[in-house]
Structures are given as structure tokens and as C-alpha cells.
């Protein structure tokens, strides 16, 4: 069964290896075992579309962040797209429908707007380079909003609202994963195309990075979608271990809230250090699919894996 995965951090790993940070030599996207989302594993796992996030570690000085972002974009184009003819750059979501047998779509996204500072021209540049989804924060505060880890817990700034408006104008997804609760509600008020790229249900695992029930219902009420994450601390409270059964509890809860047609997957592979049993990299995706098929119909599981996202995207594209 084909899968769309809306979040991984392979670009950061590729960059760190190129800079010899934590790695002794560059990684190769095709088969380096250090990459949970390498090409061989994407093929084995049935991943049809993989989103690749630009993520700048908060330890990077402010005046270097834009350069780091451009380095990751360059790696996306040179190492993922440029060296692998099977990988096709998705510049608009309708292009997913034109993927041929054996091809895998690659979507460029932004996780945290720190790298643009207060410069909307930099955001426009990222659009032109292929970014189709923008997450305003990681866990910390920036010039757009407070993240989920910011104690203050404030919402969108005036600049953050400008970013959301520009996303709307360009039909770019605004990603609510990692936002503070207040910022989530501000985004929901202002964004035309909100979605959660990698978040779970807070009612099942009380972690600030997960979404509470009212937020989930409001998100799907606005036509958004929630892609569930495979990081064990977001699956089981205060735990670094989880099973596929533990993960399915989040799916069950989301369905009970009316989100069955809005659920997808956002693994966070290459950005997490602990894993669901038998789901430690993209090559094991079908273990999850088979686990879900024990409880849900094939049509419903196809929705989770692929069709729900495409159905929501059709509505966005129809507006154009």
C-alpha cells in the first residue's frame, strides 16, 4: 500500500554529515544506513511521497541560519533529486497524481521560520525553491510565534500573521505542529490551509507537542488534516518505548473525534532517536499498514496512508 509521509529530517542529517558534525563522512541518500528515509527504505516501505523538512538547530547563531537553510535546500536538489532519477520534485501537489510507477515524490517543507528572520522576501525565495508547507516554530519562540516549549505560551505576532497571510496567498500549507496552544488557535483563525505534519492526540499522551481534542476537532472542521507521529514520547507518556498497538490508540481516538477522513502519517524519521517496535525506519512502513488492517477496512487504511491527504489537497487545488 502506498504511503504519504509528511515529515522527516533527512536534510539535517545530510547537512550534518557534509559538515562532519557527528559523522566522519558524507551520507548517501540512496542507501546510507544512518538515514531512516534513504531511497532504498522508501521503496521497501511503499512510500510514494516523502516530505523533507528544512530544520535549523536552535544552537545555530541567528546570522548563520539563512545560510544553513540554503545548504539544506541545495542538498535536497543535489543529493535527493539530482542523483536519483526515481525521486521527483513535487512543485505543486497536483504533480503527485502524475508520478509514474517506481517514482517517489519529494516535497520540500520548512520546520520553524527562524531562518527567515523578519524578511518576507526570504520566505518568498523558499516558495520559489519549492517549499510547499511552512511550520512557524520549532519548540522555541521566534519572530512569528511561540513554540510548544516556550513557557510564555503566547500566540502569533504581527509578523507571524503576515507569514500566514503570505502562505494563504500562495496556497502554502501552514503547519501547526510545534506551536504553542495560543499560537495554534491564532493560526486556525487566520490560515486557509492549516495542517499538522507530525502530531498525536494529547488525550492519549499528555505531551505539549500533541493536540488536545478541541484543537483536533477545530482543525478538521476547517478542512485541515492531522498526520500522526511515530516518536514514542508522543505516543506513551514519559516513555521512550512504544508498540504499533500503542500508536493505533491515537488513530482510534482521532477517529472517535470524527477525524477518520483527515488522518495521515508524519513519521519524523531521522529526527527521532527512539522508535516504535518494528517501525524504526521507512522500510518498515508496511508493518504499520498490516497492523492497522487488523482493525480497519482496507479502504479506511488507504485513507490514512495516502487518500485522505490527496482528497484534502484536491479541495485546495480546486480553489485555484
pLDDT digits (tens, 9 = 90+) for 185-202: 999 999 999 999 999 999
Over 80: is that where the pLDDT of 316 sits? no
Q: Helix (H) and strand (E) counts for the chain?
A: 11, 9
pLDDT score, position 313: 87
The percent of residues in the chain predicted with pLDDT above 70, rounded, is: 100
Of 256, 252, 255, the closest CA to residue 235 belongs to 252
Percent pLDDT > 90 in the chain is 97
Asked if residue 320 has pLDDT above 70, the reply is no
Element (H, E) at 167: helix 158-169
What stretches of 170-225 show up as alpha helix (H) in DSSP? 181-190, 213-221
Kindly list the distances between the CA atom of residue 139 and the CA atoms of 95, 142, 191, 226, 230, in Å, as whole numbers in the listed order. 32, 9, 20, 18, 18
- pTM: predicted TM-score of the whole model, two decimal places: 0.97
Q: What average pLDDT does this structure show over 128-139?
A: 98
For residue 286, the SS3 value is: helix
Q: Are 232 and 276 in contact (CB under 8 A)?
A: yes
What's the CA gap between 69 and 12, in Å, rounded? Answer: 9
Q: Give the chain's mean pLDDT.
A: 97
How do residues 260-291 score in pLDDT, each as one tens digit?
999 999 999 999 999 999 999 999 999 999 99
pLDDT of residue 317: 77
Amino acid at each position: 500500500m502506498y504511503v504519504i509521509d509528511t515529515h522527516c529530517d533527512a536534510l539535517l542529517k545530510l547537512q550534518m554529515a557534509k559538515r562532519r558534525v557527528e559523522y566522519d563522512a558524507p551520507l548517501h541518500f540512496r542507501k546510507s544506513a544512518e538515514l531512516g528515509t534513504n531511497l532504498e527504505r522508501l521503496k521497501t516501505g511503499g512510500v510514494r511521497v516523502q516530505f523533507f523538512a528544512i530544520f535549523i538547530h536552535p544552537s545555530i547563531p541567528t546570522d548563520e541560519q539563512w545560510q544553513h537553510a540554503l545548504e539544506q535546500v541545495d542538498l535536497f536538489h543535489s543529493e535527493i533529486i539530482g542523483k536519483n532519477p526515481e525521486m521527483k520534485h513535487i512543485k505543486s501537489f497536483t504533480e503527485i497524481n502524475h508520478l509514474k510507477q517506481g517514482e517517489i515524490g519529494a516535497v520540500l517543507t520548512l520546520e520553524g521560520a527562524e531562518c527567515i528572520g523578519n524578511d518576507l522576501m526570504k520566505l518568498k525565495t523558499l516558495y520559489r525553491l519549492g517549499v510547499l508547507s511552512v511550520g512557524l516554530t520549532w519548540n522555541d519562540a521566534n519572530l512569528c510565534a511561540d513554540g510548544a516549549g516556550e513557557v510564555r505560551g503566547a500566540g502569533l505576532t504581527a509578523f507571524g500573521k503576515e507569514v500566514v497571510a503570505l502562505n494563504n496567498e500562495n496556497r502554502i500549507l501552514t503547519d501547526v505542529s510545534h506551536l504553542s496552544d495560543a499560537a495554534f488557535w491564532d493560526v486556525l483563525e487566520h490560515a486557509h490551509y492549516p495542517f499538522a505534519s507530525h502530531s498525536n492526540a494529547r488525550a492519549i499522551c499528555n505531551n505539549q507537542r500533541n493536540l488536545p481534542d478541541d484543537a483536533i476537532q477545530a482543525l478538521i472542521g476547517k478542512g485541515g488534516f492531522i498526520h500522526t507521529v511515530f516518536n514514542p514520547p508522543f505516543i506513551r507518556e514519559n516513555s521512550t518505548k512504544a508498540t504499533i498497538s500503542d500508536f493505533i490508540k491515537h488513530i482510534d481516538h482521532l477517529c472517535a473525534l470524527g477525524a477518520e477522513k483527515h488522518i495521515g502519517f508524519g513519521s519524523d524519521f531521522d529526527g527521532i532517536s527512539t522508535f516504535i517496535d518494528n517501525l524504526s525506519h521507512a522500510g518498515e512502513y508496511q508493518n504499520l499498514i498490516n497492523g492497522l488492517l487488523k482493525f480497519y477496512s482496507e479502504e479506511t487504511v488507504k485513507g490514512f496512508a495516502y487518500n485522505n491527504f490527496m482528497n484534502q489537497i484536491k479541495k485546495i487545488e480546486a480553489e485555484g
